A and B are shown apart, each in its own frame.
Chain A
Amino acid sequence: MNEKVKAKVKELLASGRIKGFWGLRTMQGNIGPFLFSSPDDLDELVVGDRERPGDTRYPLNKLLVNLARCYPEEVFGVLVRGCDERGLKTLYSWNQLNPEKVVPVGIACPQELAEACECLKPFPDEFVAGEKAEGSEFVSVANVESLSLESRLEHWLDQFAKCIKCYGCRDICPVCFCKECTLEKDDFIHTGDLPPENPIFHLTRAVHMAGRCIDCGLCNEACPADIPLRTLYKKVADIIDEEFHYRPGYGDPKEKSPLNILGEAPKH
């Protein structure tokens, strides 16, 4: 998979189409995000499959947004899986990135990863490497929903009580781009508490993920307390889909998030 990506990136860099390429690189034995700016640097480019497929994914879109804010005229390439592409489309629709300044280089995730992620679309629209895998249902959501309402509440309260309030779920999130964050505002949350106000802190974040979360799962991976945040946000995404027929990143990026427009309220 690496070689096909390298060849594509080499072509993009050599032709001058892109100023730099956001990918992953082996550095001092570790894998981390790297901005490739020369075709000669590509030897150590990797796609983030170290021991298992997709075990070293990073929020490359987020790094791209930060860089594009400083260099808005430059065109950058970026490595995308299905989730990353949903992230790009969502960032386009929220005007955080200009699609004309981004060249995605896609890879398709293998079946094993698609199932581990319970990913509905484990491939971008176009990809240079990998095989198209089958989308997977949200088994984790169904598991929690099989509990009684009372046990479900208990489950989430127990999970949220583990929180050490590192804000890692927000900091790693490719679609968390607000300059001011409700989770830091004393008017909304008692910011001095640890564990944070339960369940308000996490439910506030979950509500803010509605119409935005692209189900990449990086929050889940970054959580030092192993809170199954991805399951929670998958459920939020299901609700938005049921109510508004909208899933962030799956449709046309010109389409606005339903929570970003004033329209008719859902009818019940």
Chain B
Amino acid sequence: MDYRTVLTTCAYCGCGCGLYLEVLDGRVVNTIPCKTTPVNEGKLCVKGWNIHEFIHSPNRLTRPLIRKNGALTEASWEEALDYTAGRLWEIKEKHGSDSLAFLASAKVTNEENYLIQKFARAAVGTNNVDHCARL
């Protein structure tokens, strides 16, 4: 029997609520809000309460997928990145920089969010940057 309570931060939005994940024999089985984290003081929203559910979900993406002939098909990272960069370039050339938009994420670090806005503004040339909550 291996049971642990692991203190972590909710990854659903940018609030940063503190919570404990209950881990039983290597599987995350439950969520308990942390009473002493100042952001949430023992409270959570419905998403936070259920954050353990997505961790072992069979619906999680584990490989890049590209839609080919209408069906999502597994692809290598190299192929997926080449395809995405190529299409971004094409759209920008054809329709202009403001035809593209970039959605940052609450699930990544500040530094990664900095990079995506820098990429949007400096590399692509658009101010169309928004948050994943408005997806």
**Is the Cβ of A74 less than 8 Å from the Cβ of B35?**
no
Contact of A66 among B29, B34, B42, B43 (CB under 8 A): B29
CB interface residues, A 56-77, toward B, < 8 Å? 56-59, 63, 66-67, 70-71, 74
Select from chain B the residue with minimum beta-carbon distance to A25.
B5
Chain B residues near A58: list those with CB within 8 A.
32, 35
Chain B residues near A246: list those with CB within 8 A.
none
**Is the Cβ of A70 less than 8 Å from the Cβ of B24?**
yes
Q: Does B12 contact A (CB under 8 A)?
A: no
Q: Does B3 contact A (CB under 8 A)?
A: yes
**Is the Cβ of A32 less than 8 Å from the Cβ of B20?**
yes
**Is the Cβ of A20 less than 8 Å from the Cβ of B36?**
no
Known: A20-B3, A67-B24. A30 touches B34 (CB 8 A): yes
Count: A-B pairs, CB below 8 Å: 80
Interface residues on B, range: 20 to 34
CB interface residues, A 34-67, toward B, < 8 Å? 34-35, 37, 50, 55-59, 63, 66-67
Shortest beta-carbon distance from B67 to chain A in Å? 31
A155 to B9, CA, bound (A): 35
A167 to B4, CA, bound (A): 24
Interface residues on A, range: 35 or more
Chain B residues near A66: list those with CB within 8 A.
22, 24, 29-30
Shortest beta-carbon distance from B23 to chain A in Å? 11
CB interface residues, B 1-27, toward A, < 8 Å? 1, 3-5, 7, 18, 20, 22, 24-25
Q: Does A165 contact B (CB under 8 A)?
A: yes
Chain B residues near A67: list those with CB within 8 A.
3, 24
Q: Does A11 contact B (CB under 8 A)?
A: no
Shortest beta-carbon distance from A47 to chain B in Å? 13
Known: A30-B7, A167-B49. A222 touches B20 (CB 8 A): no
Q: List 26 A-B contacts (CB under 8 A).
A: A20-B1, A20-B3, A30-B7, A30-B35, A30-B36, A32-B5, A32-B36, A35-B3, A35-B4, A57-B35, A58-B32, A59-B32, A66-B29, A67-B3, A70-B24, A70-B25, A74-B1, A166-B43, A166-B44, A166-B48, A167-B49, A172-B32, A222-B33, A222-B42, A222-B44, A224-B43
